[in-house]
Every structure is written in structure tokens, then in C-alpha cells.
Amino acid sequence: MQVAVIGLGSMGMGAALNLVKAEGLSVAGVDLRDAARAEFAAAGGLPAASGAELPPGAEAVLVLVVNAVQAREALFGPLGAAPRLAPGAVLIVSSTMSPAEARALAAEAEARQFLYLDAPVSGGAAGARAGALTVMASGSAAAKAKAAPVLDAIAKKVWDLGEAPGLGATMKVVHQLLAGVHIAAAAEAMALGIKAGLDPETLYGVVTGAAGNSWMFENRMRHVLNGDETPRSAVDIFVKDLGLVTELARAEGFPALLAAQAQQLFTAASAMGHGGKDDGFVIRAYQALTGIRLPKD
């Protein structure tokens, strides 16, 4: 089975390398960047600089670019992959986007007789490298069946959310509500603790051993305490993803009070010049408001 991966970033590269290792798949990878293509080729994959350069006949294409605009361009743009795909191929679109965008892309795919799987992922770059992503999938039974060999190679768990495209995107957006609010709450608590005279490492120890813990507090406040601003996921990702949350909420007539507040905090941190840093450094917004000193500053 011929498979293509579009977008060899931290998520896409991890997924692509696991597909290369899987039996029975011939895997091409698309990325604009020379370095990404070279890494992929060295691992045994077939590199391409655009969808138009793909060998013909792929039956499945996994899209792991940043957003819906890039996904549409990569599939249906002038240099997109669509003309190179086998008739009836499945488009597995894992970029985070709004449910409305997912439904629009699915309609465009169906108009061209392709199968479409709305399939956002969770697990980060580490999960992608380990072949242990969580996939939140919605689409037709035919799309799910055709996508199965690809998902088997990259995921530890595939959730079947139903037939309708958009349900996968909805689940991912609701998940990002929690992820974003938890990061902002972690920053708020850590900053208040520092302001009130607590030792930051002790605060980290108490919280991570108690009922106030979250996956994000444990993971991201470790980066903040270490002064490690390297972005596993960046502040600007949550400006975008919490934007998708408030967009979904507006469409549904739902007041997402905490998500909206968190979005403003990420927006502030980004406006201060921290958009490319690890998202835990949304704490810089609280620092600007209160003058606290972070441990490694």
C-alpha cells in the first residue's frame, strides 16, 4: 500500500518514521524544508518537496500541517497532492482545525470521490515518535477501514467518534480547551505562589502529589522551573487553539468563560514577544503584571 505524509514537522516526522518501519507500506513524505526531507530519506522514506512531486497511486495520505488553510493547500492547491492520489484514496487529516473547517474539507474531498477521515491527534512529538498517538476519528466506515493500516502504525488508541466529519475536530478543540486552561492556571498558581513567598520547587512537589495536579501543570511547570523555553508546544499554538475553542463556542451559543480568559493571557504573552517559547511561559504575562522573578531568570 502506497502512503504519503504531508508535513514532516515534529508530529509528522514522528508519524512518518513509524509508517516507514511498518510492514507492507511504501511511504512518501512531503515537506518544503530540505533538512526534513533529508532526515526522512535517510530513514528510508521517499522525499518530495510538494504534493505534485509525489509518485502516483497513494491510497492514503496523512496530513499533519499546522492548520486548515495549509491542509487545503497541501491537498487541493496548485501543487497539492490530490492529482497524484489513487481514485478513492483516503485523506486522513490530523491538523487541528475548527469543526466547520473539517466539514468543509470533507465536502471538498467527497466532491472529488475521495474518502475523508477527520482525525486529530494528541500525544505530542514524543507520542508521535513512539507510534503512540491518540487519534480522535470521525468519518465513514469505508474511510476508517482504508485508514486502518496507517492509524495502526502511528497510534496507541483510535477513538471512533461516529460517521460525521467534524466530530473529530470538535473533540480535539474541547480537549484543547482543557489543555490551554490548565497551562494558564498552572502559570497563575505558580506566579501567585512565588509572589506570596512560597519556594517554587516545593510548590511543584506539593501540587504534583496532590489533587490540584494536572498533566499540563506537571509537564509545563517543570520547563518553567528549569528555565527551559524550548517549545515542545509554543505560546502561539494556544493563541490559535484557544481561538478555535472560542470560535466553536460562539457557533454553538456557549459562553466559554475560562477558555476566553486563558486565550487573553496567551495573547498577552505572545504580544510581549514570547509567542515562540514553550507554552508554559505564558507565565511571563503574570510576571509583567506582578514583577515576580522566575527561578532561572
Contact call for residues 2 and 58 (beta carbons, < 8 A): yes
d(CA 139, CA 160): 9
What single string gives the DSSP state of each residue in 40-59?
A: HHHTT-EEESSGGGSPTTEE
Q: Which is nearer to a copy of itself, 68 or 268 (CB)?
A: 268
Binding residue (CB under 8 A) for a copy of itself from 149, 261, 294, 295: 261
Q: Contact with a copy of itself (CB under 8 A): which of 106, 117, 216, 237?
A: 216
172 is catalytic: yes
Spatial distance between the Cα atoms of 158 and 160, rounded to a whole number of angstroms? 6
Q: How many CB atoms lie within 10 A of CB 123?
A: 20
10 Å Cβ neighbour count for 67?
15
CA distances from 181 to 113, 193, 239, 261 (A): 39, 18, 12, 8
Among 16, 19, 136, 147, binds a copy of itself (CB under 8 A): 136
Of residues 185 through 214, those in contact with a copy of itself by CB under 8 A are 185-186, 188-189, 191-193, 195-199, 202-203, 205-207, 209-214
**Residue from 146, 172, 195, 296 carrying the catalytic annotation:** 172
Within 277-296, the residues that bind a copy of itself by CB under 8 A are 286, 289-290
* CB within 8 Å of 273: residues ≥ 6 apart: none
User: Is 182 an interacting residue with respect to a copy of itself (CB under 8 A)?
Assistant: yes
Q: Which is nearer to a copy of itself, 38 or 107 (CB)?
A: 107
- Which lies closer to a copy of itself via its Cβ, residue 83 or residue 162? 162
Sequence-separated (6 or more) residues with CB below 8 Å from residue 56: 84, 86
134 lines the binding site for a copy of itself (CB under 8 A): yes
Residue 78 binds a copy of itself (CB under 8 A): no
Among 17, 259, 269, 282, binds a copy of itself (CB under 8 A): 259
- From candidates 48, 89, 119, 179, binder to a copy of itself by CB under 8 A: 179
Interatomic CA distance for residues 82 and 54, integer angstroms? 10
Who contacts 275 (Cβ-Cβ below 8 Å, separation ≥6)? Answer: 234, 235, 236, 239, 269
* Total residue length of the chain: 297
The partner residues of 27 in beta bridges, in order of sequence, read 3
- Give the interface with a copy of itself as residue ranges (CB under 8 A): 99, 122-124, 134, 136, 157, 159, 161-162, 167, 170-171, 174-179, 181-182, 184-186, 188-189, 191-193, 195-199, 202-203, 205-207, 209-217, 219, 245, 248-249, 252-259, 261-262, 264-265, 286, 289-290
Residues carrying an active site annotation: 172
